[in-house]
Amino acid sequence: MKLGNLGKGIAVAAAGALALSACTAQSEIVENTTISVAWNQPLYSFNSSTSSGNATANAVILYLTQQSFNYYNSDLELVDNEAFGTMELVSEEPQTVKYTVADDVTWSDGVAVDAVDLLLNWAALSGYYNEVTFADVDFDEETGAVTPQSDVIYFDSVVAGTAISDTEVPDVSDDMKEMDLTYTVQTIDWQLNMTGAGVPAHVVGQRALGIEDPEEAKTAVYDAIMNEDHDALVKIANVWNLDFDIVEMPAEEDLNLLVGNGAYEVTEFVQDEYITLVAREDYSAGPAPSVETITVRWIPDALAAVQALQNGEVDLIQPQATADILEALNAIDGVTVETNDEAVYEHIDLNMANGGPFDPATYGGDAETAKAVRQAFITGIDQQEIIDKLIAPLNPEAAPLQSQQFLASDSNYAAAVESNGSDQYGQGDLEGAKAILDAAGVEYPIDVNVLYALGNTRREQEFVIYQEQLAGVFNLIDGGNESWGSLLGTPEYDAWFFGWQSTSTSPLGNEGIFRSDGGSNFTGYANDTVDALYDELGSEFDVEAQVELQKQIDAELWADAYGITVFQFPGVTAHDSEMTGVDTSALSPTIFWNYWEWGIPAAE
């Protein structure tokens, strides 16, 4: 952990230095340095913005081969990368964002990165020109696969329908370095909606329109988008959707699919085995890496990764954490092991709309009584016992998660916990729970039908522990089910516990869960104050103010005894002790986030 903090310190310093010295960035590659990283799932698409290509397996490799306007550090702060370009909020009403690509930023084939790349990325992500929605797309009727569209424009964007879709056609400056994007609906996530250049526009143009010269191809893409050239856009969309899905080194004529603008370029790509990336000499678009070659080897089995590390075949691993894996790692000499929190957090939700014990309707519409029952429930839960029994063996530093809004590694977490009123809950205070129920005049024990993932060992153990913790006050009925996912929110269950996976730190990340009309609101929770706070948050651009609003929402949720958060999933990272600069972030790309700080002694 000491090493981790040191690493973070360097990261912040490096990020600061970077802003000052963006134009002086130069190659610092150390010859004959190779780092081999184990990852569990192979890359299968060089376009991670399509609905099928959107996966961590792709994102971690693309993080090395594509640069962007910003990235997350391990404190989950968004760091601007001005060496690649800038993203500025020019005006709030109407909301306009100016993207500027830094000078000298090039694709690995030498073509300049410019606003046309941004324009294509926008056109694809927003689905602005899409003539059909997903429901109407041509599917292969029997297999259900998306087939190339013959006469309609359809970009299969993973973010279709989010804020990026509420935009107008951007303005591109004459020198092709700047792009102004205007939103028709305000979005505070403007820094997250579109963070990079996506796939190279000239390659898409070459492949879709059959133009050989890269500059001409790029111009053709620009014209097609600006003039809404139907036939060209159909072809462009098909290339964007499907061409970049490759699982091995492409043939000579398709090598342009590998073109990237990041620190590394692909030199070897063997299906299901490994991908080799070599640092680019002509790279200035971000922090300069020092390791010459990074090989990512795909090893699905956690113990296999551990033994490969021990045998020197890989230098850095982040296997799925189990007690056995941790024990095996700790037994190896010359390996540094660190445990950490992951971005998945376990939580118990209480159903407030099923006529059960947590629903006001049960008490003749008496919301206060229902709330008291919920409070009693989360008062009786003992988070620490769960941590001690299930999580601490994997992450000795694990602590109960006390916020519905922030992950523990978030720099705002501590302040939020202080003010959200969560401290009285999760202590295993069964007497307190009884007192609350007595005061509310509710008889106990109360039957609670609990849904969880049957077949998942940790969750099965969790259920038994909760059952014992609450015995006498709440009688937990085992509602474990293998298809729990589709049963969330069904009236049969009074409570459920599972893990939410965070994919960004957007303040609005949990909006769909807690809003009364949210798409993931399974509990029937409805609080006008929370809805109003989310409305306010949705148009609040000041980061400080955003955090304040989130804290207020968090406090509301705890005050309403919405449910309880329990723990973050534990993770483990291990590396050859000769390798330096290893740090991990809770969010994707986890161990890869600071690859430019990695170092290893050069081979003779």
Residues between 88 and 147 that touch other proteins (CB under 8 A): 134-135, 139-146
Can you tell me which residue has the tokens 């599972």?
498
The Cα–Cα gap between 134 and 144 comes to: 12
**Whose structure tokens read 């949720």?**
557
For residues 404 and 551, what is the distance between their CA atoms, to the nearest angstrom? 9
> Which one of 152, 344, 394, 415 is in contact with other proteins (CB under 8 A)?
344
Name the token pair of 596. 């430019």
Least distance from C-beta 162 to other proteins, angstroms?
Answer: 5
**Measured from the CB atom, is 148 or 432 closer to other proteins?**
148
Among 494, 497, 478, 503, residue whose Cα is nearest residue 585: 503
Q: Mask 275-304, x = binds other proteins (CB under 8 A)?
A: -x----------------x-x-xxxxx-xx
Beta carbon nearer to other proteins, 97 or 285? 97
Listed residue (450, 496, 458, 497) closest to 475, CA to CA: 450
Q: Is 113 or 308 the residue whose CB approaches other proteins more closely?
A: 308
Among 45, 523, 584, 585, binds other proteins (CB under 8 A): 45
For the bound state, the minimum distance from the C-beta of residue 38 to other proteins, rounded and expressed in Å, comes to 8
Q: What is the 3-state secondary structure (H, E, C) of 181-226?
A: EEECCCCCCHHHHCCECCCCHHHHHHHHHCCCCHHHHHHHHHHHHH
Regarding 578 and contact with other proteins (CB under 8 A), the answer is no
Asked if 163 is part of the footprint of other proteins (rule: CB under 8 A), the reply reads: yes
Question: Taking CB under 8 A as the rule, does residue 409 contact other proteins?
Answer: no
Q: Measured on CA atoms in the order 77, 82, 86, 91, is the torsion positive or negative?
A: positive
Number of residues that bind other proteins (CB under 8 A): 76
- Determine if 184 is a binding residue for other proteins (CB under 8 A): no
CB of 32 vs other proteins, minimal distance in Å: 7
- Which residue of 105, 124, 160, 221 would you call a contact of other proteins, by CB under 8 A? 160
Q: Which is nearer to other proteins, 160 or 470 (CB)?
A: 160
CB nearer other proteins, residue 45 or residue 238: 45
Residue from 22, 61, 87, 159 binding other proteins (CB under 8 A) = 159
Q: What single-letter DSSP state applies at residue 451?
A: E
Closest contact distance (angstroms) between CB of 598 and other proteins is 17
Of residues 167 and 379, the one with the C-beta less far from other proteins:
167
| CB-nearer residue toward other proteins: 217 or 242 | 242
Cα 251 to its chain centre, rounded Å, is 32
> According to the binding rule CB under 8 A, does residue 20 interact with other proteins?
no
Q: How far is the CB of 344 from other proteins (least distance, A)?
A: 8
Q: Between residues 84 and 298, which has the closer beta carbon with respect to other proteins?
A: 298
Residue 32 binds other proteins, judged by CB under 8 A: yes
Regarding 588 and contact with other proteins (CB under 8 A), the answer is: no
Closest contact distance (angstroms) between CB of 159 and other proteins is: 6
**How many CB atoms are closer than 10 A to CB 594?**
24
Contact 77, 83 (CB under 8 A): no
Instruction: Kindly state the helix (H) or strand (E) to which residue 350 belongs, with its residue range.
Output: strand 335-350
User: Sign of torsion, CA 491 496 499 504?
Assistant: positive
Kindly tell me the sign of the dihedral angle through the C-alpha atoms of 60, 65, 66, 70: positive
Is residue 72 a contact residue for other proteins (CB under 8 A)? Answer: no
Q: Is 545 in the site for other proteins (CB under 8 A)?
A: no
406 is a contact residue toward other proteins (CB under 8 A) = no
Q: Binding to other proteins (CB under 8 A): which residues in 468-507? A: 482-486, 488, 498-503, 506
CB closer to other proteins, 42 vs 356:
42
Stretch that binds other proteins, among 1-9, 22-30, 175-183, 270-278 (CB under 8 A): 270-278
CA angle 415, 421, 425 (to 5 degrees): 120
442 binds other proteins, rule: CB under 8 A: no
Residue 134 neighbours by CB under 8 Å, 6+ apart: 51, 156, 160
Q: How far is the CB of 12 from other proteins (least distance, A)?
A: 27
Residue 55 lies near other proteins (rule: CB under 8 A): yes
| Residue 382 and residue 527 in contact, taking contact as beta carbons nearer than 8 Å | no
Q: Annotate 396-409 with DSSP letters as a single string.
A: TT------SS--TT
Long-range contacts, stretch 250-256, CB < 8 angstroms, 24+ apart: 256/109, 256/200, 256/203, 256/206, 256/207
251 belongs to the binding site for other proteins (CB under 8 A): no
Q: Is 268 one of the binding residues for other proteins (CB under 8 A)?
A: yes
Nearer to other proteins, 134 or 413 (CB): 134
Per residue, what are the HEC states of 34-88?
EEEEEECCCCCCCCCCECCCCCHHHHHHHHHHCCECEEECCCCCEEECCCCEEEE
Stretch that binds other proteins, among 6-14, 30-38, 405-413, 590-598 (CB under 8 A): 30-38
